[in-house]
């Protein structure tokens, strides 16, 4: 078995850590050692815990000593003290490696034998490779002679875990659905569990509902009631709570409320204890101070209101720490249940960008957690998460953990199928078939249900999205004039009971948006060529592309048909947007009015940041944007005078997104010319809008600056001269921000990893700075690896263009924060772009600095 090696270093010495990694390669390749350092941490909110856990598991500890290391409170106070303790216990061997000259003789580390020989710092050797070779020789000598003392096992009896029954231990890690992974024989719940967030009934200072992590139910003993829809992950939440409470030496008991048929809680507790623990008597359990009760499916309790009240009162009397979950439908009844008044109430949230990213990284790492590199991990994660995001699309598919896991399995499997739909279309179709399986619809009836749902979706669409009972009767009467008769009542009942259809305020509608859009789009794809009514509705969809629901229907249409009319209609609509504008070139002449402003603002600096944290911040920002809303909806548009103008802006971006979706989903089957036309038309539409914006900004500059001045004058501390300067700066900063944002938006909307040659050919046709910058933005957005040669070419083509060069620098710097980039490559980029590289800045205010 290989020896676990823990490497600690200041991130100002990251290049030395990389050199050590290279020189340890043969020991790792021969499975003599298994090295770990904090660059291997995937996205997590528990950074310190991961470091501590890996330190405790190590037998060889290597400290890269420098002044930065000694100055780090975290390295010095946390890691070093624990490492010295482990060394003195004989559990591990601590070896200091002197990498830079520093005053370490007064530290506790001075009593250890350091390497290289004579404790001569590596940077002072004429040949650094010789120094590292001496370090490796020293490490090998220690490996040959050191025999670690086995750590004192934390016996399960120390935590009384021996009292947990085998059946309960198996239940805790049972996913309760079949999850297959190519590298793992059996996927356990602990392998893929990510703590969800909870939405509180309380509000923050800005009157928004508070969001908290579900860890609160473990860390803060109280009475909790958590609501969630079916398949939201409520039972998994309780299983994790059970496990974590045990680790905290708190003894939980789990009750399934559906099985509770008497108000005497003692009988239910006794039965549960007998099953969940070994030799744990009820009297002994009730006498303990550290207990908790976990209750599943409270809404399913088999008691009438009177005896349910007795049960809850009994629970409240015997437990101070209670975690209950219930279907969301119970939320409306809780005000009438007095016994629940003191419970903290939360809604279980779906997985946003942050949680999805964490789950994707967990899935990718299964079976190779200790060997997968950061670059490979983040490249794969971004590619898979991008596909997830395109399918989930603002909660069109419910972002529940089980749905995400099903999609992850499909991504692995779909390439092995001969698919008629695009890959995304196949995923939607498989989700529908799985819903049919859950509803126990027999295979011989699948076509019948598909046809009924297709026609029903069209009827719902024509009626504003819902049908009442009367409309439903008319629907089935009309249906049977064209198709064979069906038992409408049975079909609707079965679809309602299995979350395909739902009833709200006595009206039928689809439970989830993806079902609605899928079947409307199926109707359009099936009937476009034969139905003038359908063709007229397509024109309506295109004309109102700025509406989210219409845009989504069109996206789904592209999953159902490969016929050319879809592309023709979309491109025709794009061609009419801002038709009186030429595409923005972002030439030096066009942007001259911003040169002076950009020359006055501080130069950009390439900082060294913790990649996992930057990625977490990025995904959290996406969650905040989606949660708070960032688009003008249809109702808002109706209250604004410039309806057509705002609608055209929204159409521009929606049209680009649809074009990009088609390219990404069907790049393998579309002709080169079709991809080129889609990409080119989408790009030109975005650039025409950008040209319009720049023209308007220049034309209305004086009016906008005057308006900003009026706002600034509300601050009496500013002189008139300073007000004018700041107003101008704010205007130019806003203008620059829009130009930068639109270029990135065009790139992320229209771009694709697979069609890079198409974007290169579009640029070749017209080498404007805008297209050069756009091609670079697409490459950075869709490829994890930095192409320094392309950056060099882009830099050369944009030289003397102050605005475009500034945008390029921001793009490249942001990429280095989101993906691992080797130290030498960072130096190349810094020299190429004229950037200074700031010393390592590691942890934000919530983490201890290591530099």
The more confidently predicted of residues 809 and 54 is 809
Q: What is the pLDDT of residue 637?
A: 36
What is the rounded average pLDDT of the residues 509-516?
A: 94
* C-beta of residue 142 within 8 angstroms of C-beta of residue 62: no
Cα pseudo-dihedral 11, 12, 14, 15, rounded to 10: 180
Most confident of 246-250, 718-722, 841-845: 246-250
Q: What is the pLDDT of residue 602?
A: 78
Give the Cα separation of 314 and 200 in Å (integer).
Answer: 26
Which residue blocks in 261-304 are alpha helix, DSSP H?
265-276, 282-286
Given pLDDT bands bounded at 50, 70 and 90, which one contains residue 39? Answer: low
Most confident of 201-205, 281-285, 495-499, 788-792: 788-792
Given pLDDT bands bounded at 50, 70 and 90, which one contains residue 356? Answer: very high
What is the rounded average pLDDT of the residues 95-107?
A: 88
339 CB neighbour count, 10 Å cutoff: 16
Sorted by sequence, the CB contacts under 8 Å of residue 577 that are 6+ apart come out as 648, 651, 652, 655, 685, 688, 689
* C-beta of residue 395 within 8 angstroms of C-beta of residue 513: yes
Does 838 score more than 50 pLDDT?
Answer: yes
The more confidently predicted of residues 816 and 205 is 816
Sorted by sequence, the CB contacts under 8 Å of residue 704 that are 6+ apart come out as 697, 731
Q: What is the pLDDT of residues 103-114, one digit of tens each?
A: 888 788 888 889
* C-beta of residue 236 within 8 angstroms of C-beta of residue 404: no
Q: What is the pLDDT of residues 705-739, one digit of tens each?
A: 676 666 666 665 666 676 677 777 788 888 888 89
Distances (CA, A) of 1 to 4, 366, 644, 671: 9, 20, 69, 53
β 507-510/501-504 pair status:
antiparallel
CA 532 to chain centre: 42
Q: Could you give the 3-state DSSP secondary structure of residue 823?
A: helix
Does 845 score more than 60 pLDDT?
Answer: no
What is the rounded average pLDDT of the residues 84-106?
A: 87
Does 75 score more than 80 pLDDT?
Answer: no
Q: Could you give the 3-state DSSP secondary structure of residue 277?
A: strand
Given pLDDT bands bounded at 50, 70 and 90, which one contains residue 47? Answer: low
Sorted by sequence, the CB contacts under 8 Å of residue 297 that are 6+ apart come out as 234, 256, 257, 258, 325, 326, 327
Q: What is the pLDDT of residue 725?
A: 73
The tokens for 780 are 């950075």
Q: What is the pLDDT of residue 150?
A: 58
What is the rounded average pLDDT of the residues 675-702?
A: 88
Q: What is the pLDDT of residue 48?
A: 64
Cis ω for the linkage preceding 691 (within 30 of 0): no
The more confidently predicted of residues 230 and 421 is 230
Indicate the average pLDDT of the chain.
85
SS3 string, 236-265, reads: HHHHHHHHHHHHCCCEEEEEEHHHCCCCCH
Beta strands across the sheet bearing 322-327: 209-213, 197-203, 344-348, 223-228, 322-327, 291-296, 251-256
H helix or E strand, kind and range, residue 840:
strand 836-840
H helix or E strand, kind and range, residue 224:
strand 223-228
Does 117 score more than 80 pLDDT?
Answer: yes
What is the rounded average pLDDT of the residues 313-330?
A: 94
Distances (CA, A) of 557 to 392, 449, 519, 563: 16, 20, 9, 10
Q: What is the pLDDT of residues 200-215, one digit of tens each?
A: 977 766 667 889 999 9
Does 314 score more than 70 pLDDT?
Answer: yes
Give the Cα separation of 638 and 225 in Å (integer).
Answer: 40
What is the rounded average pLDDT of the residues 668-673?
A: 87
Residue whose token pair is 């027999």: 442
Dihedral angle sign, alpha carbons of residues 200, 205, 208, 212: negative
What is the rounded average pLDDT of the residues 780-805?
A: 92
Instruction: For 734, list phi and psi in degrees, rounded to 5.
Output: -60, -45
Q: What is the pLDDT of residue 608?
A: 77
113 CB neighbour count, 10 Å cutoff: 11
In this structure, of 56-60, 315-319, 679-683, the range with the lowest mean pLDDT score is 56-60
Does 157 score more than 50 pLDDT?
Answer: no
Instruction: For 468, list phi and psi in degrees, rounded to 5.
Output: -85, 180
* C-beta of residue 63 within 8 angstroms of C-beta of residue 850: no
Does 849 score more than 50 pLDDT?
Answer: no
Q: What is the pLDDT of residue 135?
A: 93
Q: Please give the domain boundaries of the chain with CATH numbers for all domains.
A: 3-145 (3.40.50.10140), 195-350 (3.40.50.300), 435-575 (no CATH), 592-611+674-840 (no CATH)
Q: What is the pLDDT of residue 630?
A: 47
170 CB neighbour count, 10 Å cutoff: 10
DSSP 648: H
Given pLDDT bands bounded at 50, 70 and 90, which one contains residue 240? Answer: very high
For the chain, what is the total number of helices (H) and then of strands (E)? Answer: 37, 16
């Amino acid at each position: 078995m290989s020896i676990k090696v823990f490497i600690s270093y200041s991130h100002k010495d990251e290049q030395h850590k990389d050199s050590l990694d290279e020189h340890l390669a043969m020991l790792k390749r021969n499975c003599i050692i298994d090295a770990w350092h904090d660059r291997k941490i995937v996205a997590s909110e528990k950074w310190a815990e991961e470091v501590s856990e890996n330190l405790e598991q190590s037998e060889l500890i290597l400290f890269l000593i420098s002044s930065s290391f000694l100055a780090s409170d975290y390295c010095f106070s946390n890691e070093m003290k624990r490492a010295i303790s482990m060394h003195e216990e004989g559990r591990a061997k601590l070896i200091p490696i002197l990498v830079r000259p520093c005053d370490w003789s007064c530290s506790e580390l001075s009593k250890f034998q350091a390497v290289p020989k004579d404790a001569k710092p590596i940077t002072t050797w004429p040949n650094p490779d010789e120094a590292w070779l001496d370090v490796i020789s020293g490490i090998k000598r220690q490996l040959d002679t050191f025999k670690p003392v086995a750590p004192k096992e934390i016996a399960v009896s120390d935590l009384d875990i021996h009292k947990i029954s085998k059946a309960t231990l198996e239940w805790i890690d049972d996913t309760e659905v079949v999850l297959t992974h190519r590298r793992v024989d059996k996927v356990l719940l602990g392998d893929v569990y990510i703590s969800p967030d909870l939405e509180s009934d309380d509000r923050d200072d800005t009157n928004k509902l508070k969001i908290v992590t579900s860890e609160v139910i473990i860390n803060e003993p109280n009475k909790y009631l958590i609501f969630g829809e079916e398949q939201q992950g409520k039972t998994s939440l309780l299983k994790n709570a059970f496990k974590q409470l045990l680790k905290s030496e708190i003894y939980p008991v789990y009750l399934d409320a559906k099985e509770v048929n008497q108000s005497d809680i003692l009988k239910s507790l006794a039965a549960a204890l007998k099953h969940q623990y070994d030799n744990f008597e009820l009297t002994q359990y009730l006498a303990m101070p550290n207990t908790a009760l976990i209750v599943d499916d409270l809404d399913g309790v088999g008691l009438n209101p009177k005896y349910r009240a007795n049960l809850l009162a009994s629970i409240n009397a015997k437990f101070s720490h209670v975690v209950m979950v219930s279907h969301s439908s119970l939320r409306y009844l809780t005000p009438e249940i007095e016994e629940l008044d003191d419970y903290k109430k939360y809604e279980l949230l779906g997985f946003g960008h942050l949680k999805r990213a964490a789950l994707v990284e967990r899935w990718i790492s299964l079976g190779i957690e200790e060997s997968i590199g950061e670059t490979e991990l983040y490249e794969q994660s971004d590619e898979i998460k991008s596909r997830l995001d395109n399918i989930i699309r603002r909660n069109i598919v419910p972002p529940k953990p089980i749905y995400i896991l099903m999609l992850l399995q499909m991504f692995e499997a779909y390439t092995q199928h001969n698919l008629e739909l695009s890959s995304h279309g196949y995923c939607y179709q498989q989700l529908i078939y799985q819903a049919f399986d859950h509803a126990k619809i027999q295979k011989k009836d699948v076509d019948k249900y598909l046809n009924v749902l297709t026609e029903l979706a069209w009827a719902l669409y024509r009626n504003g999205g819902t049908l009442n009972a009367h409309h439903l009767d008319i629907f089935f009467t009309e249906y049977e004039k064209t198709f064979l008769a069906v038992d409408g009542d049975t079909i609707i009942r079965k679809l309602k009971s299995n979350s395909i259809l739902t009833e709200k305020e006595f009206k039928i509608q689809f439970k989830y948006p993806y079902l609605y859009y899928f079947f409307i789009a199926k109707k359009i794809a099936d009937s476009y060529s034969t139905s003038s009514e359908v063709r007229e509705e397509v024109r309506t969809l295109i004309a109102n592309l700025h509406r989210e629901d219409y845009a989504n229907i069109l996206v789904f249409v592209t999953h159902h048909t490969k016929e050319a009319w879809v592309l023709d209609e979309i491109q025709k609509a794009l061609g009419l947007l801002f038709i009186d504008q030429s595409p923005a070139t972002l030439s030096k002449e066009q942007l001259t009015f911003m040169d002076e402003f950009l020359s006055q603002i501080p130069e950009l600096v390439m900082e060294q940041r913790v990649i996992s944290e930057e990625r977490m911040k990025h995904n959290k920002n996406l969650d905040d944007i989606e949660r708070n809303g960032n688009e003008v909806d249809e109702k808002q548009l109706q209250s604004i005078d410039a309806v057509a103008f705002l609608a055209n802006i929204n159409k521009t971006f929606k049209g680009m997104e649809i074009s990009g979706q088609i390219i990404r989903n069907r790049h393998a089957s579309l002709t080169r010319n079709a991809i080129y036309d889609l990409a080119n038309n989408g790009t030109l539409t975005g650039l025409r809008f950008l040209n319009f914006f720049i023209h308007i900004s220049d034309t209305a500059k004086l009016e906008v600056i005057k308006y900003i001045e009026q706002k600034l004058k509300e601050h009496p501390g500013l002189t008139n001269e300073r007000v004018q300067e700041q107003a101008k700066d704010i205007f130019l900063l806003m203008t620059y921000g829009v130009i930068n944002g639109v270029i990135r938006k065009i790139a992320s909307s229209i771009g694709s990893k697979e069609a890079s040659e198409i974007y290169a050919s579009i640029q070749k046709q017209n080498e404007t700075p805008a297209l050069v910058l756009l091609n670079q933005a697409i490459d950075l957005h869709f490829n994890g690896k930095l192409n320094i040669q392309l950056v060099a070419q882009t830099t050369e083509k944009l030289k003397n263009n102050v605005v475009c060069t500034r945008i390029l620098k921001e793009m490249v710097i942001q990429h280095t924060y989101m993906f691992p980039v080797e130290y030498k490559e960072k130096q190349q980029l810094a020299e190429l772009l004229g950037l200074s590289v700031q010393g390592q800045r590691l942890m934000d205010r919530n983490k201890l600095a290591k530099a």
